[in-house]
Amino acid sequence: MNMKQKLLSFCLIFLIAATLLPVLAVADSEAAETPPQDTDGYYLLDSAEDLYWFSSYVNGRETNADAVNARLTKDIDLNPGVSFAYDAETGKITVSKGGKSFHLGSGLKGTVLGALDDGETAFSLNPWTPIGTAAMTYIGTFDGNGHTVNGVYVNDENIGYAGFFGLIGDINANNHYSGHVKNLTVGENSLVLGYKCGDSGSTGGVAATAMSIDTLENCINRATVAGKSSYVPFNSSASRVGMVGGIVGCMAGKAENCENYGTVVSDNYAGGIAGNLTGGRTNTYAQAYVSLENCRNYGEVYGNEDLVSPTETSGHAGGIAGNSGGGDTAGCDGGIIAGCINFGRVRASGAAGVVYQAREGTRIQYCANRNEIAATLVSVGLVGQIDWGGCTLESSYTAGNVTLNGKGGETAVAYPIAGIVKYFMEQYPSYTVKKCYNDNDVFPCDEDGTLAGANINMIECYSVATSVFASGEPAYKMGSWYDLRWKQNILEPYEEGKIPEDYPNITGTRVVSYITHYCCHTDATNKNAHKKSFYSNLT
């Protein structure tokens, strides 16, 4: 065969191979057709091509000062027919499509994050590039309009901020510009893997990082989220703190009315809603209002279960947040976690139903845990560890079992309300723990009624039976804070159509009042003799 024939044969083989490669969704904003804009200037997105165009357009802007708004008009699937499932026993993620499957590591149970099982062959998937990067963050409003984006697949070691959105807002938390994401669902047939959480990145289902005055509102995550994360050292830069969360990895703004149903996995810090909640900033600009409000976690949360010291930095998980508080010396407020309830199981070396590590003045109010918390060393129903700067924990309850897996030996501890308080710089942090309850039928306390670890003093905290919860007494006694208060349908008195509830909730149910009746007597002696006080939904 002469040189010309060899060259023609090579070109033919190359063309045939190229036609067999999977066709990926359009990822070039110049190649794709620009979506139409509504009268208010929002881009209207109704296809996978539109989403890829939008991501490329946002990430390719010349300046962060350019706000870009968009609105979904349809449900969109980026990888039709694909599903992802996490196996907690093996630590592997099964990727399936059309009868074929392969397995990826999660970073737990001896697996390597994102590593393909030996001997397996992976089929091609359409990769997603998160909207917003460290160089060009997302600024503007993205309205999901009640729609779902399914088939989101992020698996790239070169992506520092892994999520449907990458980095939203001002990376330095200086409030120069902000982003707003609302009414969006990331579908269950989605997988987000994050590799650079340790140094300069984070991982979340809806967003990797939201800084400054940014908000996430009415967002839902159903994706499996797994990633590497790191401890938040003292005086760390908030924008460099990496953790893993169902809704958002690192939050320095406000998330409200958000729900997570996806499995969350991390080797270090993991949270059902947020991996890390921090008000840190890097200079003297006004600090953002930092909060998680009225959020719900239904997904299982996993951290490393290997045996480590309770003060070491591996394997910590919280039903709502892994860590709250931590940033640089210009400000590292832990923010507010209010009206949030965990319904998902939490497993790690150190695990807690609401927040594992709380510090820098974090306020945890009107929160609850309703599922099992299982740990190797520190297992706690509400807050696992109180660290530097302290926290306030009040008007919250736990009605989930608190268990130990037996690997921690005699040093392992389990408490319903608060776990350990960290001795830092030769002193204990200031804190307040009051008006908190444990369901003693679900998790019976020790004979001495221990509700928290050593050196933690509590005010008006109790362990009561499920029947006491059902009576409405804890809901009433936990009180109210601004527009937050526990509500509950209680059995007595009977009302047509009312379904009694065993435990209080924040939304959708009725206020509990404490009523005193004196029957029909008018004189003081008989009135007091026949006085009857009870809890009721009637006023």
DSSP of 271-332: ESSEEEE----SSSSPPPP-EEES-EE-S-EE---S---TTSSSSEEESSEEEE---BTTB-
| Burial profile 122-135: b = 16 or more Cβ within 10 angstroms, e = fewer | eeebbbbbbbbbee
Distance in angstroms (rounded) separating the CA atoms of residues 120 and 298: 32
Between residues 424 and 59, the one the model is more confident about: 59
Decide which of 457 and 345 is more confident: 345
At residue 530, the pLDDT reads 65
Pairwise CA distance, residues 48 & 148, whole Å: 12
Q: How far is CA 301 from CA 184, 274, 308, in A?
A: 21, 11, 18
What does the alpha-carbon distance between residue 460 and residue 454 come to, in Å, rounded to a whole number? 17
pLDDT bracket for residue 289 (50, 70, 90)? low
Higher-pLDDT residue of 224, 160 = 224
State how far the Cα of 403 lies from the Cα of 329, in Å rounded to an integer.
Answer: 37
Give pLDDT tens digits for 236-263.
444 445 689 999 998 888 999 999 999 9
Residue 500, preceding peptide bond in cis (omega within 30° of 0) = no
- Average pLDDT value for the chain: 85
The more confidently predicted of residues 353 and 228 is 353
Range scoring the smallest mean pLDDT among 18-27, 83-92, 313-322, 326-335: 18-27
> Which of 240-244, 315-319, 337-341, 474-478 is the least confident region?
240-244
* Residue 314 pLDDT > 90: no
Q: Quote the tokens at residue 229.
A: 């994360």
Length of the chain: 539
Residue 19 burial class via C-beta count within 10 angstroms: exposed 0-12, middle 13-18, buried 19 and up = exposed
**Phi first, then psi: what are they for 281, rounded to 5°?**
-145, 165
Segment holding 373, helix H or strand E: strand 373-380
Q: Do the strands 301-302 and 140-150 form a parallel or antiparallel pair, or are they unpaired?
A: unpaired
**What average pLDDT score do residues 395-409 get?**
95
As a whole number of angstroms, the distance between CA 142 and CA 72 comes to 8
**pLDDT above 70: percentage of residues in the chain:** 80
Tokens of 427: 């002193």
Residue type, 313: T
Whether pTM exceeds 0.75: yes
For residue 212, the model assigns a pLDDT of: 63
What six digits make up the tokens of 290? Answer: 């930092």
- pLDDT confidence tier of residue 367, bands split at 50, 70 and 90: very high
Please state, in angstroms and rounded to a whole number, the distance separating the CA atoms of residues 292 and 254: 6
Whether residue 390 contacts residue 352, with contact meaning beta carbons closer than 8 Å, is answered with no
Q: How many alpha carbons lie under 13 Å from residue 136 in its C-beta half-sphere?
A: 14
- Beta strand 391-394 with 362-365 is parallel
Res 448: pLDDT: 58
Residue 199: pLDDT band with limits 50, 70, 90: low
Lowest mean pLDDT among 95-99, 114-118, 447-451: 447-451
Question: Is residue 529 over pLDDT 70?
Answer: no
Question: Rounded to whole angstroms, how far apart are CA atoms 391 and 53?
Answer: 44
99-127 residue pLDDT tens: 999 999 999 999 999 999 999 999 999 99
Condensed to tens digits (0 to 9), the pLDDT of residues 132-188 reads 998 899 999 999 999 999 999 999 999 999 999 999 987 765 656 789 999 999 999
pLDDT at 329: 35
